Structure 1
Amino acid sequence: MEKRIVTFRNVSFRYRESLPWVLNNVSFSINADEWVAIIGHNGSGKSTIAKLMNGLLTPQEGEILVNGTPVTPETIWEIRKNIGMVFQNPDNQFVGTTVQDDVAFGLENRGFPRKEMVKRIKQTLLQVGMEAYTLHEPHRLSGGQKQRVAIAGVLAIAPQVIILDEATAMLDPRGRLEIMETMHHVKEQHNVSFIMITHDLKEVVRADRVIVMSEGKVVEIAPPRDIFAKKEKLQQSGLDIPFVAKLVDELTKLGTKLSKEPLNHDELLEELWTLYLKR
């Protein structure tokens, strides 16, 4: 049986009593070492989920558990040792004058010995491909490089869960690809759960499961392939359908039957090539 690392039980939240619910009776669980993408249109409640997990907000109803421990004012500091967050704008997270100083910040706050700090800084910068920028000033880096440093800073404290809250939203296509490759590389080397908050369906391909949010409610939980197959439901949730999914839809209307829902261009080409060889 898989270990549940994060659990939401009938969670509801609103910022003020006079305002509508941002989250309305939300329930789901995330397993250890799992990559989960939480997607939805702007205002669907996905970023609020991230803040509730980390104790930045407190729900009015329901319960949130991390490693089986309820998130409360009494437990929050211990829980935050196991959850790291990477935000949309990395400049808001930088506190050090150099890359290595910034990665060291979280370690210093937790009282790590200097020898261990030096080791972790070197290891994590290597893992995110930023080892050559140790003495660079963070504000002089590109957007993708800044986010990789932010990931290194979180990774250094060895959390069980890393939340990326719209971490690629301010990046160009190359920067987004850099971050996705970095996440994939880190996931291969560490026992860590990734929770990726996004509204870009192209970024959920590598996730194990996808949670679709709409109007503060969970409307679907499934693997990416199953999510992409439900195009009408995605559109009803205010999400843009990826180009590959749109192309598959048009091919289906023309009578082309594929054996599975392709997640990307490579899978689509493979499916079409297989059909061609069968003729």
Structure 2
Amino acid sequence: MRHKIVEFRHVSFRYGEEHPWVLKNCSFAIYENEAIAIIGHNGSGKSTIAKLMNGLLFPQEGEIVINGRSVTQDSIWDIRKDVGMVFQNPDNQFVGTTVQDDVAFGMENRGIERDEMVRRIDNTLSAVGMQEYRLTEPHKLSGGQKQRVAVASVLAIFPQILILDEATAMLDPRGRTDIMKTVTRVQDQRHLSLITITHDLQEVVQAERVIVMNEGAIWDEAAPRDIFAKKAELRRIGLDIPFVAALSEELRKAGIPINREALNHEELLEELWTSHSIM
């Protein structure tokens, strides 16, 4: 049985006493080697959760436990060894003059020996397909390439938890797909816990479990198929559903028997083939 690697225990947070609560009594757990998606409308508390996990913020109420340790001012530097975070704009994470310098930066701060640093730079840049750009200046890269380097820089510190906070939002559809394929492959290889905070519904359907936020509280948490089966309820809280799920809904209304909640094109084609065979 997988153990809990992240726990939120009745966590509440607000940005100052004069402001409303951004998170309200939130409790949930994330397990080792689990892929989680956190979704919700703007202002629902998604990105605040990410910053609390990484110790960029601290809750006014409740407790956050990462890998068995409570997140406090005293434990934060140890916590950050386990938690890697990739943000929406990779330019905000670049500090080195070349790609390899940037990947090395986090390791230098942790006192990792040079030979090990060189090995990790080679391995992580190869993992994200950026080995040939190691001497390139980061600002000369495309958006997708920059995000790959940002991912490599985080992976080089060997985190147990990888948080993508809208990390693909600035990329085109192909770039988003490529980044998520890369991250999913690395997660499988390293047994990371992957937490994706996103508006991209195709990323959501790839998760094992979805946590839905609404007005600072957990509205629901379940497998993607179970979440997107609640189409009307999701729309009432300002969230959309995947195109394939919406298309399945319209086909049912048109009298075509589709039994399973299709979440991708392959599943929909299978349902259509099955219904055609029956008819």
Q: For the superposition of Structure 1 and Structure 2, which TM-score range results when normalised by the shorter chain?
A: over 0.9
- 2:94 is matched with 94
The residue number in structure 1 matching 2:27 is: 27
Question: What is residue 36 of structure 1 aligned with on the other side?
Answer: 36
Q: Give the conservation status (yes or no) of the 8 Å contact 2:90–2:146.
A: yes
Match of 1:16, SS? coil
Partner of 2:119: 119
- Aligned AA (1:125): L
Q: For residue 240 of structure 2, what is the aligned residue in structure 1?
A: 240
Offset at residue 257 of structure 1 (A) = 2.8
88-97 vs 252-261, greater mean Cα deviation = 252-261
Q: Please state how far the C-alpha of 1:102 moved relative to its aligned partner.
A: 0.6
For 1:98 and 1:184, locate their aligned partners in 2 and report how far apart those are by CA, in whole Å.
Answer: 26
Report deviation, 1:241. 2.1
Separation in structure 2 between the aligned mates of residue 47 and residue 24 of structure 1, nearest angstrom: 14
Q: Give the TM-score normalised by the residue count of structure 1.
A: 0.97
Residue matched to 2:50: 50
Give the Cα–Cα distance (whole angstroms) in 2 for the partners of residues 23 and 274 of structure 1: 45
Unaligned residue ranges in structure 2 (runs of 5+):
none
The corresponding residue for 1:81 is 81
CA distance in 1, matches of 2:163, 2:259: 34
Where do 1:259-270 residues align within 5 Å?
Answer: 259-270=259-270
After superposition, the C-alpha distances for 1:174-206 in whole angstroms (9 at most, x for unaligned) are 211111111121122111000001122221121
User: Matched residue of 1:203: which SS?
Assistant: helix
Q: Is the 8 A contact 1:106 1:157 kept in 2?
A: yes
Whichever residue aligns with residue 179 of structure 2, its letter is I
Q: Secondary structure at the match of 2:81?
A: coil
- Corresponding letter in the other structure for 1:235: R
Amino acid at match of 1:42: N
Which residue of structure 2 lines up, in the alignment, with residue 65 of structure 1?
65
Q: Which residue of structure 1 aligns with residue 165 of structure 2?
A: 165
Distance 1:260 1:136 in 2: 48
Corresponding position of 2:9: 9
Kept in 1: contact 2:12–2:60 (CA 8 A):
yes
> What's the counterpart of residue 136 of structure 2?
136
SS at match of 1:163: strand
Q: Does the 8 A contact of 1:213 with 1:237 survive in 2?
A: no
Amino acid at match of 1:62: G
Decide whether the 8 Å contact of 2:165 with 2:197 is kept in 1. yes
Counterpart residue identity of residue 90, structure 1:
P
* 1:149 matches 2:149: yes
The AA in structure 1 aligned to 2:42 is N
Distance 1:201 1:22 in 2: 23
CA distance in 2, matches of 1:49, 1:77: 18
Q: Counterparts in 2 of 1:187-266, with a 5 A limit?
A: 187-266=187-266
Is the CA contact 2:242–2:263 (under 8 Å) kept in the aligned structure 1?
no
Measured against aligned partners, the alpha-carbon deviations of 1:228-260 in whole angstroms (never above 9, x if no partner) come to 111112112211222111111111212223232
Q: Distance in 1 between matches of 2:30 and 2:228?
A: 20
Give the whole-Å Cα distance in 1 for the aligned partners of 2:242 and 2:197.
17
TM-score, normalization by structure 2 = 0.97
RMSD: 1.0
Q: Quick one: distance in 1 between partners of 2:238 and 2:68?
A: 33
| Deviation for aligned residue 1:276 | 1.5
Q: Which runs of 5+ in 1 are unaligned?
A: none
Distance apart, 1:49 and its partner CA: 0.2
Aligned 8 A contact 2:208 2:224 in 1 = yes
How many residues are matched?
Answer: 279
1:119-166 deviation line (CA, Å, top 9, x unaligned) = 000001111111121111111111111111111111011000000101
Cα deviation, 1:34-76, whole Å, max 9, x if unaligned, reads 0000001110000000000011111111110001211010111
For 2:123 and 2:259, how far apart are their aligned partners in 1? 42
Cα distance, 1:215 vs structure 2: 0.3
